[in-house]
Structure 1
Amino acid sequence: MDRHSVLPMNPAMPVRVMRPQAGKKMPPLADSAPVKQMRQMNRGIVTAFGAIGIAQALKIFTHKAVTGKWDWRPLFTTGGMPSSHSAGVSALATYVASNRGARHTETAVAVVLATIVMYDAQGIRRHTGEIAKLVNDLEDNFVKLSGEFPSLKYEEQEKELKELLGHQPLEVLAGALFGGALGLVSAKIENQEREIEHARGIYPDYLDERS
């Protein structure tokens, strides 16, 4: 029998048609539990870590603008322009404030966290880096003195202290502005998704939980 031929239907054979049960409706894919959980959990995280990653990548170009040389090492180091830590916490705070409102507790937590991180970046971490630079310079001077005076014995350390730890205030400000802009964009995209889903008759609670 040709595979394209159609078998005749037996009139005596009952045909069962699968119909959806009354009162039951399959949820759309966008409203399914796994998608809801993924988007609810990841939106703020993706916004914050996305800002950190992009800010780290921008350090390569700012390093090229300052030194005139391409170098991939700033992609994996702290310090430099812009501050990736400031970008991350600023993006998260702006995203939360845009979705929750200025009076929500989550906004307060995000803003306080961002303030502490940015203050630490241009304060304690920057001063720690400056102290490390002084210690490294002091060790270099001891090495030179030990070479000029053989009686002065000094063993040079194999590894210098890391100097690029914190940020200048301008680097922190640049990171905060960049992160804030990215947080606003992320919140805008989410609002557009909400409007599209509402137009389709979908009202996911993970987008509309406002208290």
Structure 2
Amino acid sequence: MTFLADLFHNTIFLSAVTGWLVAQVMKTVIHLILTKEFVAERMVGSGGMPSSHSATVCGLATAAGITYGGGSFEFAISVILAIIVMYDAMGVRRETGIQAKVLNEMLEAFSTMGKKMSPEEKLKEFVGHTPLQVLAGAILGIVIAVVICYL
């Protein structure tokens, strides 16, 4: 088989990518419902509900566990990766988003004295995730991997 054919028959790869894709679409739809505004950036951007990072790594880890077993090095590596990614999403990246929001508010307040800030100059606020967003992404990734691996 060719490389691409092998790749698209790889349940571990498909579980991770499908987890990411479904989470991004859900995130965009949820944002649309809450704000009544379609923002195309939500399809590829980070932050928001559910966490696509968590869906991706949990889909990866679950599929590796199903395929190779709980005692395999593939499963161990993917679980450690998932823990690091989800911890980072709730920690450093979430704090970065909170700080960006505060800085944007400060810059906006200062802009009344002079030049107005353009939307391109604002810092990105959707960066990290709340624990609920990470949990929702993790559950989504696990469910997707189970469905893909047992189909």
Name the TM tier (shorter chain).
0.7 to 0.9
Aligned equivalent of 2:87 = 119
Aligned equivalent of 2:131 = 169
Task: Please state whether the residue corresponding to 1:77 is helix, strand or coil.
Answer: coil
Aligned equivalent of 2:12 = 44
Task: Please state whether the residue corresponding to 1:180 is helix, strand or coil.
Answer: helix
Name segments (4+ residues, structure 1) moved above 4 Å. 155-158
Write the distance in 1 (CA, Å) between the matches of 2:93 and 2:33.
24
Please tell me whether the aligned partners of residues 139 and 156 of structure 1 are also in contact (alpha carbons under 8 angstroms): no
* 1:180 corresponds to which of 135, 142, 149: 142
Name the TM-score, length of structure 1 as normaliser. 0.64
Structure with higher Rg: it is 1
Query: Percent of aligned pairs with the same residue?
Result: 38
Aligned equivalent of 1:75 = 43
Alignment of 1:1-211 (within 5 A): 33-34=1-2, 38=6, 42-144=10-112, 146=113, 158=118, 159-189=121-151
Which string of whole-angstrom CA distances, capped at 9 and with x for unpartnered residues, describes residues 72-115 of structure 1?
Answer: 33112111111101000000100010111111111100000001
Write the distance in 1 (CA, Å) between the matches of 2:8 and 2:69.
17
Name the TM-score, length of structure 2 as normaliser. 0.87
Q: Is there any run of 5+ residues in structure 2 with no aligned partner, and where? A: none
CA-atom RMSD, angstroms? 2.1
Deviation at 1:62, TM superposition (A): 1.1
Task: Please state whether the residue corresponding to 2:10 is helix, strand or coil.
Answer: helix
- The 3 A distance-change label for structure 1 pair 63 and 157 is closer
Higher relative contact order (CA 8 A, sep 6+): 2
Q: Is there any run of 5+ residues in structure 1 with no aligned partner, and where? A: 1-32, 148-154, 190-211
Deviation at 1:39, TM superposition (A): 5.2
What count of residue pairs does the alignment treat as equivalent?
A: 148
Please tell me whether the aligned partners of residues 90 and 131 of structure 2 are also in contact (alpha carbons under 8 angstroms): yes
Please tell me whether the aligned partners of residues 59 and 144 of structure 2 are also in contact (alpha carbons under 8 angstroms): yes
Structure 2 counterpart of 1:89, which letter? V
